[in-house]
Amino acid sequence: MAQYEPAVIHAFADCLYQQASRIVAQYVVLGLLIGGGIGLGVGLAARVDSSTMLVVAGAGAAIGGATGYAIGDQKAFASKLIAQQS
């Protein structure tokens, strides 16, 4: 029969919690970059002036960041759930 060491399980759970916090940040940054890029592309395609293009890119980045947060939070929840089960 296997010997269980609580220290190993706690270390694994701590690692999963750290991973969960990084996941949210990574998805937010990725969402900001993708959303900003899409907004910039829309602004370029619409041939608007530079200030309007900045607003459109900013709006795209905000929407992308919010979407990234929502996706990252769900993925982080899965890691936290696994940590709680260990």
As a whole number of angstroms, the distance between CA 74 and CA 84 comes to: 15
Residue numbers in the chain where pLDDT is lower than 50: none
Residue extents of the structural domains in the chain:
26-85
**Is this prediction's pTM over 0.85?**
no
pLDDT at 85: 84
The tokens for 59 are 């709006």
Buried residues in 33-71 as b, exposed as e (16+ CB within 10 A)? ebbbebbbeebeeeeeeeeebeebbeebbebbbebbbeb
Q: Which helix (H) or strand (E) holds 86?
A: none
pLDDT at 65: 97
